[in-house]
Amino acid sequence: MDTDVLIVGAGPTGLMLANQLGRRGIRAMIIDRHAGPALETRALGVQARTLEIYSHLGIAGRALELGKRTAGANLWAGGRRSARVPLGDIGHDLSPYPYVLILGQDDTERLLGEALRQWGMAVQWNTELVGLSQGADGVDVTLKQPDGASRSISAAWVAGCDGARSSVRGLCGIEFQGAPYEHVFFVADVQATGPMVPDELNVYLWRDGFHLFFPMSGTDHWRIVGILPPELRGRDDQEFADVVPSIHHEAGTGLSFQGCSWFSTYRIQHRRAERFRDGRCFLLGDAAHIHSPVGAQGMNTGLQDAYNLGWKLALAVSGRAGTALLDSYEDERIPVARQLLATTDRAFALVVSDAWLAGLFRTRILAKIIAVAMSFDGIRKLVFRTISQIGIQYRSSPLSQALPGQPDAAPRAGDRFPWLRLKFSAAGLPEDLFQKLDDTRFNLIVIGQPASPGGLPALEDLLRTLVVPSDPANDRELARAHIPSRSFYLLRPDCHVGLSGIRLEADAVTRYFSERLSFRQ
């Protein structure tokens, strides 16, 4: 076998998977048919859950330095600012990163590519997968090399992170079900001055659609996203100058442009692969699902696909777990993609509908409803949980097991464990729990009782135990998250709850590893 895992595609998804395998010591090879990293800014929104994952990878600090935090969103209609929604710490108490970070995809890919070097890995550029055939023990792959010659290699597993036109998906005969939307979008990175509130998101709602202005790093640097005016559709030679009249018409003439560094149009599709796995091949990221950019979910969902598969693949490759564990990738990620497509479809229909009534709703009513709704703490939290992706859960996964006796409001098996500040010794100060978790292992959080898991010798290097002693400050913090003051939570390496219960029982933990995770003792 030439490699344990062949990762096809060095976009954000492939780079994340390579990092997750590299830091677990797995032999993976990552290839891309392009000559080098993408230079376009493309996806801009980095969500809180992604930043939490970056923090474990050691790149969150650098991402925050390079990016811009959105302090608020301003909604404009008819040339007037009709509402402002504060977003600066919308998710405070829910995540160490309670905002959306604006960071170009070129920077994201650079940071993930640099992180790869720590594990002695590098992307093999100008290398394209052109053929594959699967056997019982591996996959024979044909690669087109930089000199144009073909080369055959064998890989135990193949991860198709090769984008919307995925070759892996095509060669596996997996259908990409869905359709294109009727509208064509444009994106433009510009230098501009005008009525926009600096450093904040500005949303111009108009009868026939919208323009979004995202603040980018630097001064007067904006990303504009909008719908291509109908008279420009069908041409393939559009330039930024062609869309300027429509932006002026809707956003006002006080707007002036000093330059445009990137302009592109694209027809958005909503599609999902009917399966995310075929034997030894997996699909992740845009290869598995594409949808409208509403809510800045696309790239983040691909990164989480990789975070979900990474630890499972590492355990299967190293022989610690049986390959049955890998079935849970599809079980967990297809429902996430299905839900994402449904939500983004609904939101997209609302912002682009050509219907007269929808236009009236968008310009006269929508901004006010959003502003009023977002003044309620419960709604703000719900919106943050959804957009930030911290609310993604795998409750119906076969890997989620709750023992009896837990209150309904407590975190459930399958949930991302909540972010808490806890004291880990009687004399200590409260610490950030997420900083204490090691996401290359399972973390057993034992609350208000002694930790004596025992009976788990073969897991010692893979299981970390954190004891949370009884303490008034801990009790207050636990109560905030509805966690019983005596309980235990076994977190999977991706920090979702695998097993939860009240009284810690070594047997239940041992059984969970062998029965649910297919661990070999």
Query: Interface residues with ligand FAD (CB under 6 A)?
Result: 8-14, 31-34, 42-45, 105, 128-129, 161-163, 167, 187, 264, 266, 285-286, 293, 296-299, 302
Contact 2, 154 (CB under 8 A): yes
Give 348 or 519: the residue with its C-beta nearer to ligand FAD.
348
Antiparallel, parallel or unpaired: β 101-102 and 45-46: antiparallel
* Nearest approach, Cβ of residue 160 and ligand FAD (Å): 9
> With respect to ligand FAD, which residue has the nearer C-beta, 264 or 485?
264
Rounded CA separation 261/223 (Å) = 10
How far does CA 199 lie from the centroid of its chain? 23
Nearer to ligand FAD, 31 or 420 (CB): 31
- Could you tell me the smallest distance in angstroms from the CB atom of residue 287 to ligand FAD? 6
- 116 - beta bridge partners? none
Element (H, E) at 271: strand 256-273
Shortest distance, CB of residue 333 to ligand FAD, whole angstroms? 13
Is the dihedral angle over the CA atoms 124, 60, 46, 479 positive or is it negative?
Answer: positive
| Residue 209 beta carbon to ligand FAD: minimum distance, rounded to whole angstroms | 16
Q: Could you tell me if 268 and 292 are in contact, meaning their C-beta atoms sit under 8 angstroms apart?
A: yes
Query: CB of residue 218 vs ligand FAD: minimum separation in angstroms?
Result: 18
- At closest approach, how far in Å is the CB of 188 from ligand FAD? 10
Q: State the minimum distance, in angstroms, from the CB of residue 497 to ligand FAD.
A: 27
31/459 with CB nearer ligand FAD: 31
- Give the side-chain half-sphere CA count within 13 A for 77: 20
**Shortest Å, Cβ 237 to ligand FAD:** 17
Joined tokens for residue 104? 């170009």
Our CB check for ligand FAD shows the closer of 298 and 493 to be 298
* Residue nearer to ligand FAD on the CB measure, 129 or 462: 129
Closer to ligand FAD by CB, 32 or 494: give it.
32
* Nearest to 199, CA basis, from 91, 98, 88: 88
Given the complex with ligand FAD, which of 142 and 193 has the nearer CB atom? 142
Tell me the C-alpha distance between 212 and 519, whole Å: 49
Residue placing its CB nearer to ligand FAD in the complex, 309 or 491: 309
Beta strands in 70-175 (DSSP E): 72-77, 80-86, 101-102, 128-134, 139-144, 150-160
Residue 497 contacts residue 490 (beta carbons within 8 Å): yes
Which of 216, 191, 213 is CA-nearest to residue 203? 213
Strand order in the sheet with 176-193: 80-86, 72-77, 201-206, 209-215, 221-227, 176-193, 256-273, 289-290
Shortest distance (Å) from residue 269 CB to ligand FAD:
11
Phi, psi of 308 (to 5 degrees): -70, -45
